[in-house]
Structure 1
Amino acid sequence: MPAETLAVIITVLRIVIAVVFIGMGVNHFVPRSARTMAAMIPPWLRPDGRVTPLTLVYITGVCEIAGGLGLLFPPTRVIAGVALVVFLACVFPANAYASTRRDRFGSLAIPFIPRLLAQIALAALVLAATFL
């Protein structure tokens, strides 16, 4: 594959991933979505009351938006990409918790193994978009 073609593919991948993270981050500020995401935080991960689950949802939304934007700018690309991979690992417990409660979270309760595989694939794509 010619280098120019690979460069275009990586640029498109980077833009798509950035848009996905920015969009997911913005969704954290939609009231209904934010409430649902707050409910997905397992009780054992909830802070001691100083920070509410909803506040955690807002913080993670800001992280996703910042990470997505950071992927688009060469000076911040590496730190943003690494931070997004760490972010994906940090939010996985909430997704795992939701995966066992389909009656409560409906289609957001993606079964554990497919969710884990998707999370790993997304992390790999983020790394590819960061370092290639």
Structure 2
Amino acid sequence: MDAATWDVILWILRALVALVFVGMGVNHFVPASVRTMAAMIPPALRSSSPALSPRVLVWFTGVCEIAGGLGLLWPPTRVAAGIALVVFLAAVFPANAYAARHRDRFGALAIPFWPRLVGQIVLAALVLVVALLP
């Protein structure tokens, strides 16, 4: 495969990963999704402060996903965005694990623990690939 073909493939992959994060981030502002995601925050991570309410945390994580996805597309921020998204994936994993333990409450959003963990690791690796490769 020549360099030009590889550049196109990498650009498409980078755009797809960015689109996934931007799309997931936008979903953090859909009222029904906000309610469900806020409920997924484990009780141990909930704050009594209104400034850090579960709903505010959902909005904040949505902004993080949108910013990270867009950051992957702009060369000066690509590496920082990739690293931030990997940290982000690790930071939100406790909510996903909590949901996995409570499938009766969260239904299809509660992906079982092991498939979710593998998916998060694969997504983190993909983010690093598109962020670190030139």
The offset of 1:48, in angstroms, is: 3.3
The Cα offsets for residues 60-117 of structure 1, whole Å up to 9 and x where unpaired, read as 0000000011111001111111100000000000000000111100000100000000
Q: Unpaired runs of 5+ in structure 2?
A: none
Distance (whole Å) between structure 2 residues aligned to residue 120 and residue 55 of structure 1: 26
The Cα offsets for residues 39-59 of structure 1, whole Å up to 9 and x where unpaired, read as 000000112334110000000
Tell me the amino acid that sits aligned with residue 10 of structure 1. Answer: L
The residue number in structure 2 matching 1:62 is 63
The offset of 1:8, in angstroms, is: 1.2
The residue number in structure 2 matching 1:16 is 16
Which stretch shows the higher mean deviation, 5-14 or 99-108? 5-14
Q: Unpaired runs of 5+ in structure 1?
A: none
Distance (whole Å) between structure 2 residues aligned to residue 46 and residue 77 of structure 1: 31
Distance (whole Å) between structure 2 residues aligned to residue 130 and residue 119 of structure 1: 16
- TM-score normalised to structure 1 length: 0.97
Distance (whole Å) between structure 2 residues aligned to residue 41 and residue 73 of structure 1: 31
Distance (whole Å) between structure 2 residues aligned to residue 79 and residue 18 of structure 1: 14
The residue number in structure 2 matching 1:130 is 131
The residue number in structure 2 matching 1:86 is 87
The offset of 1:7, in angstroms, is: 1.3
SS in 2 for 1:83: helix
Tell me the amino acid that sits aligned with residue 31 of structure 1. Answer: P
**1:95-110 maps to which residues of 2 (within 5 A)?**
95-110=96-111
Poorly superposed stretches of 4+, deviation over 6 Å: none
The offset of 1:35, in angstroms, is: 0.5
SS in 2 for 1:48: coil
Instruction: Please state if 1:53 is matched with 2:61.
Output: no
The residue number in structure 2 matching 1:28 is 28
SS in 2 for 1:29: coil
Distance (whole Å) between structure 2 residues aligned to residue 25 and residue 48 of structure 1: 24
- Give RMSD over aligned pairs: 0.8
